[in-house]
Amino acid sequence: PEREAMFHRGPGLNLTSGQYTAPFAGYYTFSTTLHIARREPRRRRQGCRGSRLRVLICVQSCCQHNSHLESVSQLESSGDLFTISVTGTLYLQAGQYASVFVDNTAGSPLTVQSGSDFSAVLLGV
């Protein structure tokens, strides 16, 4: 932070791996907002029915089980920039981690833009 007390990252966030590791067992509220851009020129895109973008926050990279949060958005063929958010509460044991995953069924190359965010806050044990 530029100024002291703007925000506190805490010891659980690893910026290299993109994982938040719970320092204590308890309920955590997670939130992410991703700004995603298509990298493919508009003229080369093929409008594919059923093209969607899923953003998940998963515990221990287990997105198939009930230990995740999810948001699904239909991709429009005319758009170049999408914003998609996920917010919710998960229970983590001490030492478990949560991270964000993007599932792109459109086949178009995508880039997560700067200004996207991810947060975790301990609600209680």
Q: How far, in Å, CA of 37 to CA of 45, rounded? A: 13
Residue 104 has pLDDT above 70, yes or no: yes
Confidence of residue 43 (pLDDT cuts 50, 70, 90): low
Q: Is the pTM of this model over 0.85?
A: no
Q: Is 45 helix (H, G, I), strand (E, B) or coil?
A: coil
Q: How far, in Å, CA of 30 to CA of 89, rounded? A: 6
Multiple choice CATH, 16-40+49-124, 3.40.50.620, 1.10.645.10, 2.60.120.40, 3.40.190.10: 2.60.120.40
Residue 5 has pLDDT above 50, yes or no: no
Is the CB of residue 86 less than 8 Å from the CB of residue 55? Answer: yes
